[in-house]
């Protein structure tokens, strides 16, 4: 038994549609207040309305859309206050929990994976590619959540993360400098390497306090 080769296309149409729409909202192609019509979308995405509707419901639960019965679905915004007072604190709760569970199970292999992601971040930063940096950033934290292997933690994470991501990509151009983001993750990873829980948790707190969007 070995790891399966990369799947041809393991994602259901629902999943694909959700991903495309999420991307469009997060990158600002779809702006808060824009109305979405199911028929139009299903034609553009080459997906029937069945799976599309399920995708819309999912994005609704992710806080990116809001729908009104018989009257359509529209893109929902997030305020800075909601980000700071709700979403970031929840992220902190989740990531602290995740680290507590992930840390004991992290061997050299897992740490090397994270190091690889940080390498990607370094490349992206030196290329000035904010988009690639952001992707790697998300991947870094995703990996930690994944490693914790706690279904509810993972599930709530998937619910919270898109809102934060959307906010920082469309409403807040005032990012930390690219290099700063890389440096922060290097520090975070180093704390994980010590294997000491308190050190790691302190790194989580500092990381999310300094650059809350990443």
Identify which range of 65-73, 110-118, 132-140, 166-174 contacts DNA by CB under 7 A: 65-73
Assigned token pair, 146: 């994944």
Instruction: Kindly tell me which of 162 and 182 has the beta carbon lying closer to a second copy.
Output: 162
Q: How far apart are CA 79 and CA 38, in angstroms?
A: 27
**What is the closest distance, in whole angstroms, from the C-beta atom of residue 194 to DNA in the complex?**
39
First to last CA, the chain: 36
Instruction: Kindly tell me which of 156 and 183 has the beta carbon lying closer to a second copy.
Output: 156
Sequence-ordered alpha helix ranges (H) in the chain: 13-26, 38-45, 49-61, 80-82, 88-102, 108-127, 130-148, 151-170, 178-194, 197-210
**What is the closest distance, in whole angstroms, from the C-beta atom of residue 186 to DNA in the complex?**
39
The alpha carbons of the chain give a radius of gyration, in whole angstroms, of 18
Q: How far apart are CA 159 and CA 74, in angstroms?
A: 18
Site residues (CB under 8 A) for a second copy, limited to 149-168: 150-153, 155-156, 159-160, 163
Instruction: Kindly tell me which of 63 and 212 has the beta carbon lying closer to DNA.
Output: 63
**What is the closest distance, in whole angstroms, from the C-beta atom of residue 64 to a second copy in the complex?**
10
Residues within the interface to a second copy (CB under 8 A) = 12, 50, 53-54, 57-58, 61, 63, 66, 69, 76, 78, 82, 85-87, 89-90, 93-94, 97, 100, 150-153, 155-156, 159-160, 163
């Amino acid at each position: 038994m070995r790891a399966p080769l990369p799947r041809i296309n393991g994602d259901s149409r629902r999943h694909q549609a959700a991903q495309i729409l999420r991307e469009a909202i997060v990158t600002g192609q779809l702006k808060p207040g824009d109305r979405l019509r199911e028929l139009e979308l299903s034609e553009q995405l080459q997906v029937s309305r069945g799976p599309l509707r399920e995708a819309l419901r999912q994005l609704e639960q992710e806080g990116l859309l809001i729908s009104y019965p018989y009257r359509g679905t529209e893109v929902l915004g997030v305020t800075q206050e909601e980000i700071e007072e709700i979403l970031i604190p929840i992220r902190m709760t989740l990531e602290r929990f995740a680290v507590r569970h992930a840390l004991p199970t992290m061997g050299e292999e897992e740490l090397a994976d994270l190091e690889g992601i940080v390498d990607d971040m370094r490349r992206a930063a030196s290329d000035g590619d904010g988009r690639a940096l952001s992707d790697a950033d998300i991947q870094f934290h995703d990996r930690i959540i994944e490693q914790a292997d706690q279904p509810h933690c993972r599930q709530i994470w998937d619910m919270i993360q898109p809102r934060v991501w959307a906010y920082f990509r469309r409403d807040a151009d005032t990012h930390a400098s690219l290099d700063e983001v890389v440096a922060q993750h290097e520090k975070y990873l180093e704390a994980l390497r010590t294997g000491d829980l308190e050190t790691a948790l302190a790194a989580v707190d500092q990381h999310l306090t300094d650059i809350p969007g990443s």
